[in-house]
């Protein structure tokens, strides 16, 4: 939408967004200046070895073993390459072999994962370490590995002036607002809009329910009036009647 000219076509000067958030009382707003949500990148690793019979591992190059070492090696990025005060998550979420039987050593294994961080410099560092560690680890076991790395959502960064304005409007609606909520590591495509225009993204409490995207998540309709009132207050205070 941004690339297609959304901001210029409609003369957008500022941008604001809201996201439901379990763990806070229903109707409670929470926000912070600066990084609020993490960037999110994806990687796919293909490990190629030499398939064989499970009874003769010496005649094969076991890609399951190699890929397992790669998974472990990737965890060293956060624990040994990132400043302990930084925030980076490296997760391998998918591990698939081309073997369909228990007595076959797979010829190829595919790993898929995600990298999340609140710092653009650490984002680049994590990518560089993945691209260095993976082929080197595979080579140590006689295999090869290819890394496909895709940058996804950037860090969601709230702009100072707009954050204060969004918080003031939330306070007007709810009576109070958390202005220094801790950042969280999920990502948000609204970040692209905040790169294009100044603005802010705010959380709205959903009560003590399961987290968003969990099968047991249950949106509380009682949060709707607060969210709608916040958007209306933004518009009324930013675009009063009688002004162009």
Reported pTM: 0.91
Q: Are residues 220 and 126 in the same domain?
A: no
Domain that holds residue 126: 39-153
Question: Is the domain of 59 the same as that of 108?
Answer: yes
Per-residue confidence in pLDDT tens, the chain, 244 aa: 999 999 999 999 999 999 999 999 999 999 999 999 999 999 999 999 999 999 999 999 999 999 999 999 999 999 999 999 999 999 999 999 999 999 999 999 999 999 999 999 999 999 999 999 999 999 999 999 999 999 999 999 999 999 999 999 999 999 999 999 999 999 999 999 999 999 999 999 999 999 998 999 999 999 999 999 999 999 999 987 655 5
Kindly state whether residues 162 and 204 are assigned to the same domain: yes
- Last residue of one domain, picked from the residues 153, 170, 198: 153
Question: What is residue 136's predicted lDDT score, i.e. its pLDDT?
Answer: 98
- Residue 241 has what pLDDT? 67
Q: Among residues 134, 153, 172, which one ends one of the domains?
A: 153
Is 127 in the same domain as 212?
no
Distances (CA, A) of 161 to 2, 62, 166, 199: 22, 56, 9, 8
Question: Which residues are registered as beta bridge partners of 153?
Answer: 40
Last residue of a domain, one of 153, 169, 197: 153
User: Which CATH number do you get for residue 190?
Assistant: 3.40.630.10
Q: Which of 88, 55, 86 is nearest to 74 (CA)?
A: 88
User: Hey, is 229 helix, strand or coil?
Assistant: helix
- Report the pLDDT value the prediction gives residue 239, as an integer from 0 to 100: 85
Using the CB atoms, write b or e for 189-202: b if 16+ within 10 Å: ebbebbebbebbbb
Task: In whole angstroms, give the CA distance from residue 179 to residue 163.
Answer: 9
pLDDT (0 to 100) of residue 240: 73
pLDDT at 48: 98
Residues 54 and 108 in one domain: yes
Taking the C-alpha atoms of residue 123 and residue 147, their distance in angstroms, rounded to an integer, is: 16
């Amino acid at each position: 939408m941004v690339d297609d000219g959304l901001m210029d076509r409609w003369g957008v000067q500022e941008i604001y967004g809201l996201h439901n958030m379990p763990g806070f009382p229903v109707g409670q707003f929470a926000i912070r200046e600066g990084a609020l949500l993490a960037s999110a990148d994806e990687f796919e690793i293909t490990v190629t070895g030499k398939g064989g019979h499970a009874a003769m591992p010496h005649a094969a190059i076991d890609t399951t073993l190699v890929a397992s070492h790669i998974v472990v090696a990737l965890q060293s990025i956060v624990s040994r390459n990132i400043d302990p005060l930084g925030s980076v998550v490296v997760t391998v979420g998918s591990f698939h072999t081309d073997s369909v039987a228990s007595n076959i050593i797979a010829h190829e294994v595919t790993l898929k994962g995600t990298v999340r961080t609140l710092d653009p410099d650490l984002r680049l560092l994590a990518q560089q370490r993945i691209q260095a560690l993976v082929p080197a680890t595979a080579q140590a076991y006689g295999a090869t590995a290819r890394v496909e790395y895709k940058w996804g959502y950037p860090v969601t960064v709230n702009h100072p002036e707009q954050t204060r304005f969004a918080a003031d409007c939330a306070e007007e609606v709810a009576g109070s607002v958390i202005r220094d909520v801790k950042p969280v590591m999920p990502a948000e495509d609204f970040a692209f809009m905040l790169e294009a225009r100044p603005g802010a993204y705010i959380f709205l409490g959903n009560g003590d329910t399961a987290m968003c995207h969990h099968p047991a998540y249950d949106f509380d309709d009682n949060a709707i009036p607060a969210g709608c009132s916040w958007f209306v207050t933004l518009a009324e205070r930013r675009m009063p009647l009688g002004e162009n």
